[in-house]
Every structure is written in structure tokens, then in C-alpha cells.
Structure 1
Amino acid sequence: MRYIKLGSGGRWAAEAIKQGIIPFAEAGERVMDHGLCAAGDWAAVRERYAAMGHKAPGQPVREMRDFYELGEDTLWVTMTGGRLWWAFAEGPVIPVGTPSPDGPSRYRKTRDGWHGHSLGGEPLVTRNLSSALTRTAGFRMSICSIDRADYLLRRIRDEQDPLHDKAMALKGQMQDIALQMIRQLHWEEFETLVDLIFARGGWRRTSLLGQNMPDVDLVLDQPVSGETAWVQVKTGTDQAALDDYLDRFARDGSCDRFFFVCHSPAGKLAIPDLPRHHLWTGDDLAGKAIDVGLFDWLLERTR
């Protein structure tokens, strides 16, 4: 497994992915003799690099040797355009007849092109990958080994890290416990919890907490986006009550978003599938309380 930089700053990447090739040019853009490399005369290649003025000729020799000698079972990886791409080489190295000053001097064909998705079709977006892997893109030379090969293979194969599975199971247990603690809260404490969740999410309350407004429990604004929100909080309710508050929100027309929060609904609740309509019940509500760091706040109320 090797990471390869497709030109300085990835300038060959788009064309290489389109053509299904793995291009390469040695450091300094001084073209090394293809015949020596194909013959495996690496001592002579090293002497040539030294004569070219390379202070550490072993590095370009190692890269060139990897490019020529690594077999068709080697996984080649690159990162460009916010995506990780992988491919397998097929066949020998092919020299470019007259390489341009800013172009590759040789290339290998890929077996079936470059792939920017996992085997299951999930896009391999770099921002979703561990920095232990993506930092490889900062390597200054052209070819290097990959430290987290196990992690990369799991992502390509859509396999979960066993530690991830354990962590998700533990998070599920925390969520169950958080929901039980939420359901034990007095309605005033529950309203305070909801207010804290929004506050930690960057919303500001513009209404008085605990006041008996006829249609809404909280009115909020978001100083960054400039949005306003209309929030109704219920410990328990049913679909008819939810529909009634949706009608009130539509008639009011003063806020951008509608939030309906209930920890113990009577039956399953449904809300129109609209981007500015939000329904928080059960696990969703418990998960949000954990995400904004209110698990300890809930824990204190079980004493």
C-alpha cells in the first residue's frame, strides 16, 4: 500500500483519474533513464541522482523503485478534490516519450480506474476520515507508505473498528439512561433543560421562561444566522395536540422555525417533512442533551 502525490499540489489528479492512470515524476523534474529503472539497476540510478545534485539520492531511488517494482496487488492511494481515491496498477511502467516540464515522465495503467467510494458505495470524503490518515497528503515527496493501513482498509471495505462498535453501544446505554432521567424531571425542570439545550446550541431566548404564553413556550433567536424559533415543550402529548400547535405556528407567522419537544408522547408523533419543522422525542431528545454536555446536569437531579 502506497500514497502517491499526483503532481505538485495534485495538478495531474483530474486528468489521471479521467484517464485511469497513475502518473509519476521524480523530484526535481530531471528525467531518470527508463531503461536503467526497468532493468532494476538501482545502483546506477543512485549514481545518476547523485550526479544530478541530490544530497540524499536514496529517497528518489526508493520512490522510483516502488513505482517500478511494486506488484499489481499494491493499493495506490491519493487525495484530491476533498476525496480519497484508490486504485490498483496493471502492467509495467510506461515512459512518456517527450515529457513536458510540468508533466509526468512515466505512468502505470490502473486495473479498473480510480475509485473515490468504498466497496459499498460510500464517498470517501477526506473531512470524514481520521487525520491519522489524511495527514499523509502533507508528505513532501511523491510516494510514501501509509501508517494507518488497517484503518484505510476498513473504510474501503465498509468495516467498523471494533472499538467504534463498543463506543456506540456505550453511547446507546447513556442515551437510554439520559431519557429515563429526563422523564423523571418536573415539568419546570424539563422546560429548563430544553432551554439549556438551545442555549448551548447558540440560540438566545427572547421570551420569559415559565410564563404562560397561550401558543408557545419559548421564542428564540439565532444571532449568527438571524433566524427565529417558536418552541413548544410538552412532557406528554398526542398527535392532535401537535397538529393544533402546527396550525398556531402557521397562523402566527412571526418565526422561521418550529420546534416541538416532548419526552413521553402518547403514541407515535409525526410532523410535516419540511426543513424548518423539527420534532424532538425520546432518543432524539436524550441524544441532544448528551451532545451539548448536559448528562451531568441530569445526573445531579437524580441525587
Structure 2
Amino acid sequence: MMKIKPNKVLFIKLGEGGKYEKDCIEKSQTLRLGYQETEHSLCQSKSWNLIRDYFIEEMNCLSQVATSHTNQIQQFYEEDENTLWITFYLNKFWWCFSKPEITQLSDKSKVRPVIGNWSDKDINGNTLLASNISGKLLKTQGFRGTICKVPEQKYAIAKINCEQMKEVLEVEQALNNLKQKLTLLIQNLQWKDFETLVDLIFRQAGWQRIGDMGKTQKTLDLELLSPVTGERGIVQIKSQSDLPQFLSYQNTFITMTDYDKFFYVVHSAKSNLEKYENETDTKLYLVDKIAELTISAGLVEWVIKKTS
């Protein structure tokens, strides 16, 4: 899909409380405006001053409020096909372009057709989940009117076009550099310190250790319990390991039906294990994954102190 290049980005609330969302996005592929009290013929003739006067005289609106209502209606009627319209529905970010062909429905609400369909995907087909959208853009949902300009216009376009902001790219590069350097430090940890680091990572993730570390059974170094889900897990920690040894443990894990999760953590893996594409139910964590988890768990400083 080609990158989009809109002239403007507008947010639209599809009905009070989102009452038009399902129909507009899933069925009719339209934008829909309420304002039933506003005469369609006046909007078509662009009699915006008369409409503003109506809000002041008939609806008892303050001048500023009347202007705001009028501007929103005018945008709905006059924005061209190069305006990007966005909204939020079912915890996703939706967008479209629309033709300025306005029709009044039987309930006197107004609609204009979407060009193609509403989309909740970026140009590479990835779903635009609200959980992955900047809070600065999400707060647009709190707009009390119907249509407004989007302050985070560049961000919204970049998100759809799969373009990373310069600052984001710089942070990602810094994190990659940190992970690479941290991997080297972790490889220099004493064995007991590595075991302790693994233990701390799982504790930070919410697991509780059962029994003394390294003193349980031959097939496990950590026995874990998730107090939230009640799941039980075991962790086998190896200073060195190769593919045949991992597969042997995997076969053993299959017989241990009292456990829900299995983790195989290796400090120094042989090349055949490093290249192995793990498709088993056992989580295989090599040192690069441990470095990533160390960052997520906020244990970078701990590693630095242990290796300095």
C-alpha cells in the first residue's frame, strides 16, 4: 500500500457516546454528523453566518460556542478528499479519506461516504491497536465536540505510514547498543551471580520461588509459582549447553505434568543451540534474551555492580 499524504488530519466523534461507530465503520462506510437541528439546505448553500446566528438566538449558545459548532459543521461539509479523518473504536485507531458528498438521513443526521473503507491497519497491514498509540494522540478521544484538528498530526500520519520519529529511532538504537554491551557483561558474570540474576528476573516478572535455588531436583534449578494465575513453572539454568542436551531436557519436561511452564536458560550456548529455531513448548532463553529481560526488569545497574 502506498504512503498517505494528507493535507490535514481531523478527528471525528461518530455520534454521542459513539452511537454511530458500528454502523459507520462496520456497515455503511461513512462519516456521520448529528446536529439534526441544523438545516441541511443552509449547510449546502454555505450560509454559515445564519447557522451561527441560529445557535446564538435559538439554542442560547454563547458566541464562542456558536462559532465552534458552526466550524465543526462547516468542516464536515467542506473538507476535500485530501483530508485524513481519524477516530477510535473497539480499542483501535481508525482512519479514512472521504468524498464531500453530503446526504441527510431520515433522522436529519448527515453522512458523507468514505473512499474505500475505514481502516484499522497501517500501510504494512499491522493492526493499529490503541495500546500502541501515543497518549498525546489518544487524548483526542476526550474532545467534547464532534470534529477537531489533531495536534499530533505528524505522528498520526507517521503511524499509518510505518515511519518512526527520529527520536524513537535514536532511542531504539541506544537500547540495541545497551543490549549488546549488557550481553558482554552478563557473559562475564560469575556462575552464582548469573543464577541470582535469572532468579531476580523471574521474581520481577511476578513469579515466586518455591524452595532453595539450585537445591530442588536434578531437572530443575528454580521451582516457581505465579500467585495471580496459580501456574507452576520450572527453570533449568545451564552454564553451557548444546542442542542434544536441550532436546533431552525437553523430553523430560514433557513427562512433568504437574507443571505449566518450562524455561531453559543458558549462559554459554554451543553454536548448534544458538542456531536452533525452537518450536517446542519450552522457553529457550540464551544470553541475548537474558540481556533483554535484564533491561525490562530494571536490573542493569545490578549487573554493572557485579561486574565492575
* TM-score, normalised relative to structure 1: 0.92
**Where does residue 106 of structure 1 map in the other structure?**
110
Pick from 20, 30, 33: which aligns with 1:21? Answer: 30
Local SS of the residue matching 2:120: coil
Local SS of the residue matching 2:100: strand
**Where does residue 283 of structure 2 map in the other structure?**
278
**Quick one: which amino acid aligns to residue 8 of structure 1?**
E
| 1:250 maps to 2:254 | yes
Return the alpha-carbon distance in structure 2 between the equivalents of residues 45 and 268 of structure 1. 74
Return the alpha-carbon distance in structure 2 between the equivalents of residues 123 and 250 of structure 1. 35
Kindly state the Cα deviation for residue 272 of structure 1 after the two structures are TM-superposed. 5.5
Pick from 32, 41, 55: which aligns with 1:35? Answer: 41
Aligned runs of 1:185-200 on 2, under 5 Å? Answer: 185-200=189-204
Pick from 142, 150, 155: which aligns with 2:154? Answer: 150
| 1:138 maps to 2:136 | no
For residues 70-128 of structure 1, the C-alpha deviation after alignment (integer angstroms, 9 at most, x for no partner) is: 112111111111122111111332222x31xxxx6211112212111112111111121
Asked if the contact 1:230/1:249 (under 8 Å) is kept, the reply is: no
Return the alpha-carbon distance in structure 2 between the equivalents of residues 8 and 23 of structure 1. 11
**Quick one: which amino acid aligns to residue 94 of structure 2?**
W
Asked if the contact 1:175/1:283 (under 8 Å) is kept, the reply is: yes
Kindly state the Cα deviation for residue 252 of structure 1 after the two structures are TM-superposed. 3.7
| 1:77 maps to 2:82 | no
Per the alignment, do residues 196 and 36 of structure 1 end up closer, same or farther by CA in structure 2, a change over 3 Å counting?
same
**Where does residue 19 of structure 2 map in the other structure?**
11
Return the alpha-carbon distance in structure 2 between the equivalents of residues 201 and 292 of structure 1. 7
**Quick one: which amino acid aligns to residue 54 of structure 2?**
R
**Where does residue 127 of structure 1 map in the other structure?**
131
Asked if the contact 1:63/1:143 (under 8 Å) is kept, the reply is: yes
Structural RMSD (CA): 1.6
Pick from 210, 218, 222: which aligns with 1:206? Answer: 210
Return the alpha-carbon distance in structure 1 between the equivalents of residues 113 and 219 of structure 2. 67
Asked if the contact 2:278/2:284 (under 8 Å) is kept, the reply is: no
Asked if the contact 1:209/1:218 (under 8 Å) is kept, the reply is: yes
| 1:49 maps to 2:90 | no
Asked if the contact 1:204/1:221 (under 8 Å) is kept, the reply is: yes
Identify unmatched segments of 5+ residues in structure 2. 1-8
Q: Spell out structure 1 runs of 4+ moving beyond 4 A.
A: none
Return the alpha-carbon distance in structure 2 between the equivalents of residues 272 and 92 of structure 1. 55
Identify unmatched segments of 5+ residues in structure 1. none
Pick from 283, 289, 301: which aligns with 1:296? Answer: 301
Return the alpha-carbon distance in structure 1 between the equivalents of residues 260 and 116 of structure 2. 49
Return the alpha-carbon distance in structure 2 between the equivalents of residues 66 and 167 of structure 1. 38
Kindly state the Cα deviation for residue 251 of structure 1 after the two structures are TM-superposed. 3.3
Q: Percent identity?
A: 29
Pick from 160, 163, 169: which aligns with 2:167? Answer: 163
